[in-house]
């Protein structure tokens, strides 16, 4: 029997033009995994290109070769052409084509084989080869392990290591969540051997906020955080007007949802953000409280057990807040 790793290395061997794609509103793991693979394939003398649907957040722009990433929102025709003409497509850090937004339309003309590397539950992408494991901390960790098992490890260099480290660091919130398996540290240790400066990477990602973002966070925590001790819940909502007052930029709300979880006794935290035509939701939890289920059952969205997100259309910020509060009693037993 040929293993998926063998089939993966065969597909790489045969392909020259390789598209690496990741999801809408990419995070550190999406970009870290994609650029990590990009550097590995470059070293293997392939012709890879990283494609994402939209905006690369500021805190990831320092990453090596970030300037070469192709954005669908800026070049929809060029992206569709590249996807139709390439010999191999590698998808990282998402489980459904719907996470690509409008870029999904390009797939009508795709004939190249697809490889999926991801750690979200229930992947629904038709892939020739699939590496899907919800136990790994991050897709970046899985990319390293797949690279190792596929005989590509000698193509990892310092740049790939920095990208993959960033994916692991951001998806584990600096090794505080999803990071209890020894293999995560073995992988991280292996990446550190390439001479990357992990402290500099941390500063590049986490210490780059504007004064206004800090003030917005202070305002939201002091004026907008609602605590519901009965359900061990805390949530914050932010209107468009509030965002505007603090000169909000994409990426500024990164991490906001995590703050309430550092309050003693809180196991469920939500951040609700008003956007032009929808409300964006981010949910986080501790332990058995499955935010993935809550968001899928009552709002539109999905993700992991302890971290999920979604978007709600046709409801106001106030209505979404009220609905959230109204469904909490259903989850009462999880709070005991
Ligand atoms: Mn991820």
Full-model pTM: 0.85
pLDDT tens digit sequence for 92-117: 999 999 999 999 999 998 999 999 99
pLDDT tens digit sequence for 237-278: 999 999 999 999 888 898 899 999 999 999 999 999 999 999
* Band of pLDDT at residue 232, cut at 50, 70 and 90: very high
> Measured on CA atoms in the order 329, 322, 324, 95, is the torsion positive or negative?
positive
Task: Tell me the CA–centroid distance for residue 31 and ligand 1, in Å.
Answer: 10
Task: Tell me the CA–centroid distance for residue 245 and ligand 1, in Å.
Answer: 31
What DSSP string runs through 224-236? IEEEEGGGTEEEE
pLDDT tens digit sequence for 22-60: 999 999 999 999 999 999 999 999 999 999 999 898 899
Question: Strand, helix or coil at 160?
Answer: helix
CATH number given to 211-335: 3.10.310.30
Length of the chain in terms of residues written: 336
pLDDT tens digit sequence for 185-212: 999 999 999 999 999 999 999 998 899 9
Structure tokens at 156: 């990892």
Task: Tell me the CA–centroid distance for residue 19 and ligand 1, in Å.
Answer: 19
Element containing residue 274 per DSSP (H, E): strand 268-274
Task: Say how far apart CA 269 and CA 308 lie, in whole Å.
Answer: 11
Contact 27/170 with Cβ under 8 angstroms?
A: yes
CATH 3.90.1640.10 range(s) for the chain read: 4-206
Task: Say how far apart CA 27 and CA 130 lie, in whole Å.
Answer: 21
Question: Strand, helix or coil at 242?
Answer: helix
pLDDT tens digit sequence for 289-335: 999 999 999 998 888 899 999 999 999 999 999 999 999 999 877 66
- Which whole number is the average pLDDT over 211-229? 97
Task: Tell me the CA–centroid distance for residue 75 and ligand 1, in Å.
Answer: 25
Task: Say how far apart CA 41 and CA 12 lie, in whole Å.
Answer: 8
**Strand 129-132 relative to strand 225-228, pairing:** unpaired
CA 327 from chain centre, in angstroms, equals: 27
CATH 3.10.310.30 range(s) for the chain read: 211-335
Classify domain 4-206 at the CATH topology level: inorganic pyrophosphatase (n-terminal core) (3.90.1640)
pLDDT at 335: 64
Task: Tell me the CA–centroid distance for residue 69 and ligand 1, in Å.
Answer: 18
Task: Tell me the CA–centroid distance for residue 171 and ligand 1, in Å.
Answer: 6
Task: Say how far apart CA 206 and CA 258 lie, in whole Å.
Answer: 14
């Amino acid at each position: 029997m040929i293993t998926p790793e063998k089939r993966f290395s065969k597909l790489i061997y045969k392909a020259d033009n390789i598209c690496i794609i990741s999801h809408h509103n990419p995070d550190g793991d999406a970009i870290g995994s994609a650029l990590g693979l990009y550097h590995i394939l470059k070293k293997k003398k392939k012709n890879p290109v990283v494609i994402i649907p939209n905006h690369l957040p500021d805190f990831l722009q320092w990453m090596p070769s970030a300037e070469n990433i192709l954005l669908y929102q800026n070049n929809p025709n060029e992206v569709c052409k590249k996807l139709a003409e390439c010999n191999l497509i590698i998808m990282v850090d998402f489980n459904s084509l719907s996470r690509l937004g409008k870029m999904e339309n390009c797939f009508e003309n795709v004939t190249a084989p697809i490889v999926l590397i991801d750690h979200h539950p229930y992947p629904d992408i038709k892939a020739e080869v699939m590496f899907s494991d919800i136990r790994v901390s991050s897709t970046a960790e899985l990319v390293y392990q797949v690279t190792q098992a596929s005989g590509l490890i000698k193509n990892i260099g310092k740049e790939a290591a920095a990208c993959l480290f960033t994916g692991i660091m951001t998806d584990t919130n600096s090794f505080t969540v999803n990071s209890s398996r020894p293999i995560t540290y073995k992988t991280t240790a292996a990446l550190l051997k390439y001479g990357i400066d992990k402290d500099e990477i941390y500063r590049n990602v986490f210490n780059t906020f504007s004064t206004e973002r800090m003030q917005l966070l202070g305002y939201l925590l002091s004026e907008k955080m609602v605590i519901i001790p009965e359900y061990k819940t805390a949530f914050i909502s932010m209107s468009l007007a509030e965002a505007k007052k603090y000169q909000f930029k994409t990426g500024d709300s990164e991490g906001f949802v995590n703050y309430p979880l550092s309050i003693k006794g809180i196991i469920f935290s939500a951040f609700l953000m008003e956007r032009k035509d929808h409300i964006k939701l981010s949910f986080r939890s501790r332990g058995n409280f499955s935010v993935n289920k809550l968001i899928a059952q009552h709002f539109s969205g999905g993700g992991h057990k302890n971290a999920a997100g979604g978007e709600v259309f046709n409801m106001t910020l106030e209505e979404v807040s009220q609905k959230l509060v109204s469904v909490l009693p259903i989850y009462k037993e999880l709070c005991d």
